[in-house]
Chain A
Amino acid sequence: MVTRRKMIQATFGGAALITAGAAAPPFLWGASRQASQKSDEKILVVIQLSGGNDGLNTVIPYANDEYYRNRFTLAIDKAQVAKIDDEIGWHPALSGFARLLDEGQLSVVQGVGYPNPNRSHFESMDLWHTAHRNTKEFPRGWLGRCVDAHLSGELPAIHYGGERQPLALTTRTKPVASIQSLDQFRLRLGDHQPLSQGIATNLTKQRSHSDDLLGFIHENASMAMTTSGKLESILSASDAMKRYPETSLGKKLAAVSQLIESGLPTRIYYVTHDGFDTHANQAAAHAALLQQLGDATQAFNEDLKNKGHAERTLLMTFSEFGRRVRENASRGTDHGTAAPLFLAGGRLKAGPLNQHPDMSDLDQGDLKFTVDYRRVYAAVLEDWLGVDSSEILGRSFEKLDLFI
C-alpha cells in the first residue's frame, strides 16, 4: 500500500514532477488541507508604485486655487474630477478606486511621508522598504523582519514579478520566493531522468555552508526546487484572467488571487507597478498608470469577494515619494515628498481618513507630510498581521486607526 507520506516522497523527493511538468494534485501538500476549510489567516498584498506617484494628480484638491496655479498644463479640470467630498476628488482615470470607495472597500491616507524627506528614488525607496533611516544598519526589509520574527512555515511571503526582489522582503534566514511567472518557474532540462533527478537531489539536500554567499544561493535553489511543481499546479488554472484587465498589473493580481484561493499559507504578497517617474509629458502616461491601478485593484477586490477572501485580504499601495507641487517646463513634475497611500479590503474604515496637506505651507516647493508612513506600517503589522510592530520598526509608532 502506498502511504500518503511515501507518495509525497515519490513526487517531491525525485524530479519526476518537476521535469515532466505534471501538476501536483493539491491534496499532496500540507497547506492544502486548509484550503477546504478556508483558512482565515489574514493576508497583506502590497502594490509598490515605482518611480514616485504624483499624489496631487491622483487625489486632486480641486477646490484649491493653489493647485490650479501650480499645475498650469497638468491640472485636471474641476468638471473632470470625480468628487469625493467638497475638497478632493479622483483623477478621472481612477474610476476603479471611485467604485471601491462607493462600496466601502477603500481608504485614503493623505500626506504620507517622513521627516527630512530624501528625494532620491533609491534612497527614499530604501527608507520605505526598511522603515529605517540608516539602511546600512538595517539591511533587512520591514516585511522581511516580520517574516523572520513571526511567520514560520512554508512560503510565508511571495514576491510575484520579474524585477529584482524588493528590499522590503529581505530576510535574515530563509529567503522569500520571487516568482517571475509560471513559465519561468520550472526546470526544463529535457527528458533524461537521471540528469533532472540528480540535480533535484543535489539541491534539496541539506547542507551547511561556512560560506555565507554560497549558502544564500543554495537556500534559493532549494526553495525553487521544492515549490516549483506545487505552484505550477495552482497557476495553470485556465479561467484565471477572467474579469481582470489584460495589463501587467492585472495579470499579477490575478495570479495572487489564485495563490490565495489555493490555500497557500502565504501571508504576504508583493507586486510592483512601475513607470511613475513622470518628469516630462506626464499627463497621458500618468493617466494610463492610474487607470491600470484602479481597474486591476477593483477587479482583484471583486474576485476576492466572490471567492470569500475579501474580508481577510488587505491591499496596500505606496510610492517612494510624491512629486513637486509646481510642474516643470517639460510638462512633467520633479521629485517631491508626501503623497496619498491607499488601502483596499473588506474590513477598512472607508473613505479619506484625514485632511489633504496644506497647499500654501510648502517646504522647498514640496508638501509637508502629515502622517509618518511607519504609522501605517504599525497599524498593518499590529491590527492586521497581529504582530508586535515596535521590534520591526525599531521603535513604537502611534498606529493609525484603519479598521472597523
Chain B
Amino acid sequence: MAELRRDPKQAWKPWQPSTSQPWDLRRAAHLLRRAEFGTPIRELEVCVKAGYSKTVDRVFSVAPSVAFDQSMQSMEKALSSSQDPRQLAVWWLLRMVQTPCQLLEKTTLFWHGHFATSADKVLNSRAMLRQIEWLRAHALGHFEPMVQGISQDVAMLIYLDSEENRKTRPNENYARELMELFCLGPGNYSEKDIKELARCFTGWEIRRGNFRFNQHQHDHAEKILLGQRGNFTGEQAIHVVLDQPSTAGFIARKLVRFFVLDDRELSDELIQPLADQLRENDFDIRDTLKTILTSQLFFADDTIGQKVKSPVEMAVGLLRALGVQADLNQLSDQLLALGHLPLYPPNVKGWGGGREWINASTFLGRANLVYKIANQENSQFSRGSISKAVNALPKMDPEIWIRKLVEAYVAVPLPGDTMHQLIELGSAKRRNLNQRVADVVCAIGATPEYQLN
C-alpha cells in the first residue's frame, strides 16, 4: 500500500470498495473526519448502510439550508458591530458545529489558514467577517477570483501593513507574501520580482474602511515581473503570478497536506496529476478536492490516521460526535492556548499542522479539553445525555458500546491493554452510566491514538 504514494498514476484513481477494503464504519468515519468535522455514531451508521457513492454525494452536494443561513446572518450582523473579534471566533466555531455544509466550512478553514490573517492585529470584527465570508463564497470555487478579492480585502491589507502604497518606496510586504505564501512558494521568484510586484500594487489603499485605487499614487511605468514586461496594474500582476507553472502544484500540495497526509514527504511527481487537473479546469477547487477525497491514496490503509488532529478538528469533532452544546467561550480560550483559535493564526504562514500540534504542553491541554467537553456541568446533549449520544444502555455489556465508540472515533487501533483499561472504566461499580461514558471518553481523549485524524 505504501507504493501508492510512489505511484502518481494509481494514487489519484477513484477508490472503490472491495472485499479487502470494504466500505465500513472505519472508512466512513475516515471520510467524514477529513472532509467534514466528524459525525455522530448514528449518522455514521446511516452512511455505512447507504453505501459509498451515496455518502460521497452527501459530502459534495449538501445544499445550504435557508433557515440555517438566515439564523447565522442575523448573528453575524450583531457580531460584526461588536468590538471584540473573539466573539466572532466563537461564532465561527458554532457555525462549524452546526452547518449542514460541512465540507464547505472545512475548506473555508483551510483557506483561512492559507490566507492567514489575524484579528489580533486587524482588530476589526467587520473586516474579519467580510474576509471569512469572501473565503467561504469562493472556498469550493475558482482560485483566481479568490486571490484577486483577497488582495483587495481590508483585513488582509491591514494585516500586511498595506493600508497605503505610494509609488515612491513601495512597501514590499504584500508582494512578498503573495508569491511566497499564497501562490508560488519559496524559490519560484526573485527579490527583484518582489520589488517589481510591489510597484504594481502602488496606489492600492484603504480609505474610510474600504479598498480604493488611488491612481495618483500608482506607478504607471513599465515593470518586469517574472520574466514578463508590461505596465501592469495590480490585477494584471496577480494574473501574471497565478499563471506561473508552480502555482497549481503549490496549491495542490497544500490541499493534500490539509486533507490527506501531513507527516510524509510528498514528491512533485505525486502532486503533478492534481496540479494538471487544477490547470486544466481553471483552478476549480471542488473538482480537484473531489479527486483527492475519493482517491485510492485517500482510502489506503496507511493514510487512515496518518494526520494529527488539529485542535479545532478535535474540539468541533467531539462536539458533533456527542451532539453536545458546550460553553464555546471557554472552549475558545482553550483553543487559543493550544494555538488554534480561528481568526488568530500565529503569523501570515498560518498553521503548520502535523507534528507542530503536539508537544508536552499541548498534549495535556488536549486531554483537558476533551475532559471539559464531556464533563461540563452546563454541557447539553441533544439526545439528552452523553450515554444516549453514544448509544450506551444501562444493561448493555460496556464492551459493546466502547468498541463501537473506539471504532468510530479513534482512527487507528488501540493497544490491548488500553482497551482493557477503557472497559474497566466503563464497567466501574458505583459510577452511573453517564459518568462511566464520560470517563471512557476522557480516557480515549488522552490516548496518543486519539490525537490522530
CB atoms of A279 and B361 under 8 A apart: no
B161 contact set on A, CB distance < 8 A: 279-280, 330, 332
Q: Is B320 an interface residue (CB 8 A)?
A: no
Assess whether A198 is interfacial by the CB under 8 Å rule.
yes
Q: Once the chains bind, are A223 and B180 in contact (CB under 8 Å)?
A: no
Q: Does B364 contact A (CB under 8 A)?
A: yes
Given A194-B425, A364-B191, are A164 and B371 also a contact pair (CB < 8 Å)?
no
Identify the interface centre among B164, B169, B348: most chain A CB within 10 Å of its CB: B169
Interface pair A279/B160, CB less than 8 Å apart: yes
Q: Are A224 and B347 interface neighbours, CB within 8 A?
A: no
CB distance B448 to A330 under 8 Å?
no
CB–CB B170/A328 < 8 A: yes
**Contact A198-B424, Cβ < 8 Å, known A185-B361, A280-B161:** yes
Chain A CB within 8 A of B100 CB: no
Contact across chains for B368 and A187 when beta carbons are under 8 A apart = yes
Q: Are A184 and B361 in contact (CB under 8 A)?
A: yes
A390 shortest CB reach to chain B, Å? 28
Question: How distant is the Cα of A202 from the Cα of B420 in the complex, in angstroms?
Answer: 11
Q: Is B355 an interface residue (CB 8 A)?
A: yes
User: Measured between alpha carbons, how far is A122 from B169 in the docked complex, in Å?
Assistant: 24
Chain A residues near B337 (CB-CB < 8 A): 162, 180, 184
- Contact between chains at A195 and B425 (CB < 8 Å): yes
Hey, which chain B residues are within 8 Å of A175, CB to CB? 359-360
**Is there contact, CB below 8 Å, between A184 and B365?**
yes
Known: A199-B367, A214-B412. A279 touches B171 (CB 8 A): yes
The reply to whether A189 and B173 contact each other, CB–CB distance below 8 Å, is: no
Stretch at the interface among B1-9, B247-255, B386-394, B438-446: B438-446
In the complex, A163 has a CB within 8 A of chain B: yes
Q: Given A177-B359, A195-B425, A217-B308, A202 and B417 touching (CB < 8 A)? A: yes
Contact partners of A165 in chain B: CB under 8 A: 356, 359
- Residues of B near A216 (CB, < 8 A) are 355, 358
B397 within 8 A of A: no
- Give A184 to B164 CA distance when docked, in angstroms: 41
Judge whether B176 is part of the interface by a CB distance below 8 angstroms. yes
Q: Judge if A5 is at the interface, Cβ distance under 8 Å.
A: no
Q: B169 contacts A120, CB within 8 Å?
A: no
User: Which residues of chain A are within 8 angstroms of B367 by Cβ–Cβ distance?
Assistant: 187, 189, 199
| Contact call B424/A179, Cβ cutoff below 8 A | no
Q: Which of B171, B172, B364 contacts A224 (CB 8 A)?
A: B364
Question: In whole Å, how far is A389's beta carbon from the nearest beta carbon of chain B?
Answer: 27
CB distance from A52 to the nearest CB of B (A): 11
Q: Does A1 contact B (CB under 8 A)?
A: no
Closest residue of A by beta carbon distance from B187: A123
Report yes or no: A178 in contact with B360, Cβ–Cβ below 8 A. yes
Closest chain A CB from B186 CB (angstroms): 5
User: Are A178 and B368 in contact, with the CB atoms below 8 A?
Assistant: no
Q: Could you tell me the distance between the alpha carbons of A228 and B362 in the complex, rounded to whole angstroms?
A: 12
**Which A residues lie within 8 Å of B215 (CB)?**
none
B170 contact set on A, CB distance < 8 A:
328-329
- Give the shortest distance, in Å, between A283 (CB) and chain B (any CB): 14
User: Cβ of B339 and Cβ of A328 under 8 Å apart?
Assistant: no
Beta-carbon nearest neighbor of B307 in chain A: A213
For A192, list chain B residues within 8 Å (CB): 431, 435, 439
In the complex, which residues of chain B have a beta carbon less than 8 angstroms from the beta carbon of A212? 263
| Interface magnitude class on chain A | 35 or more
A327 to B168, CA, bound (A): 11
Residues of B343-362 at the interface with A, using a CB-CB cut-off of 8 Å, are: 346-349, 352, 355-356, 358-362
Chain B residue nearest to A326 (CB atoms) is B169
Contact (A334, B339) CB under 8 Å given A120-B180, A180-B365: no
For A194, list chain B residues within 8 Å (CB): 424-425, 428, 439
Tell me, yes or no, whether B166 is within 8 Å of chain A by CB: yes
Bound-state CA distance A47–B173 (Å) is 25
- How many residue pairs link A and B with beta carbons under 8 A? The number is 163
Contact residue among A181, A190, A218, A328 (Cβ-Cβ distance under 8 Å from B448): A218
Q: What are the interface flags for A325-343 relative to B under an 8 Å C-beta threshold, 1 for contact and 0 otherwise?
A: 0111110101100000000
By a CB distance below 8 angstroms, the chain A residues around B180 are 120, 122
Contacts of A120 in B (CB 8 A): 176, 180, 186
Residues on the B chain within 8 Å of A159, using CB: 359
Q: State which residues 201-237 of B face A: CB under 8 Å.
A: none
Q: Are B169 and A214 in contact (CB under 8 A)?
A: no
| Residue interface mask B248-287, A partner, CB < 8 A = 1 | 0000000000000001000000000000000000000000
Q: B21 within 8 Å of A by Cβ?
A: no
Instruction: Please determine whether B172 and A195 come into contact, CB atoms closer than 8 angstroms.
Output: no
Residues of chain B contacted by A207 (CB below 8 angstroms): 415
Taking a contact as CB atoms under 8 Å apart, the answer to whether B360 and A220 are in contact is yes
- Give the CA-CA distance A163 to B118 in the complex, in Å: 15
User: A99 → chain B, closest Cβ, in Å?
Assistant: 32
Q: Which residues of B contact A179 (CB under 8 A)?
A: 360-361
Check A121 for interface membership: any CB of B closer than 8 A. yes
Closest to A175 in B: B359
Whether B451 is near chain A, meaning CB under 8 Å from some CB there, is yes
Q: Is B417 in contact with A189, judged by CB distance below 8 angstroms?
A: no
| Partner among A178, A223, A328 whose Cβ is within 8 Å of the Cβ of B169 | A328
Question: Chain B residues with Cβ under 8 A from A121's Cβ?
Answer: 347-349
A228 to B425, CA, bound (A): 24
B318 to chain A, nearest CB (A): 15
On whether A217 and B160 interact (CB within 8 A), knowing A179-B361, A199-B367, the answer reads no
CA distance A348 to B439 in the complex (A): 55
Specify which chain B residues have a CB less than 8 angstroms from the CB of A327 in the assembled complex. Answer: 169
Q: Does B375 interact with chain A (Cβ within 8 Å)?
A: yes
Complex-state Cα separation, A188 to B368, whole angstroms? 6
Nearest Cβ on chain B to A153's Cβ, whole angstroms: 16
B364→A185 contact, CB < 8 A: yes
A186 at interface (Cβ–Cβ under 8 A)? yes
Does A119 lie at the interface of the complex (its beta carbon under 8 Å from any beta carbon of B)? yes
Given A328-B170, A329-B170, A217–B448 Cβ distance below 8 Å? Answer: yes
Say yes or no: B173 contacts A186, CB within 8 Å: no
Question: Once bound together, how far apart are the Cα atoms of A216 and B362, in whole Å?
Answer: 13
| A178-B176 in contact (CB<8A) | no
User: Are the C-beta atoms of A280 and B163 separated by less than 8 Å?
Assistant: yes
Chain B residues with CB below 8 A from A224, complex form: 360-361, 363-364
Asked if A203 lies at the interface with its beta carbon under 8 angstroms from chain B, I say yes
Q: Which residues of A contact B356 (CB under 8 A)?
A: 164-165
Instruction: Give A192 to B162 CA distance when docked, in angstroms.
Output: 54
Chain B contacts for A201, CB-based, 8 A: 421
B406 to chain A, nearest CB (A): 14
B330 CB-CB contact with A under 8 Å: no
Query: In the assembled complex, which residues on chain B have CB atoms less than 8 Å from the CB atom of A220?
Result: 358-360, 363
CB-based contact A162/B363 at 8 Å: no
- List, sorted by A's number, 19 A–B pairs whose CB atoms are closer than 8 Å: A122-B349, A159-B359, A179-B360, A185-B361, A187-B364, A202-B421, A202-B446, A203-B446, A213-B308, A216-B358, A217-B448, A221-B363, A280-B161, A328-B170, A329-B168, A330-B163, A332-B171, A334-B173, A335-B172
Beyond known contacts A164-B359, A199-B442, A327-B169: 10 more, CB 8 A cutoff = A122-B186, A159-B359, A178-B360, A178-B361, A184-B364, A184-B365, A198-B424, A203-B446, A205-B417, A214-B449
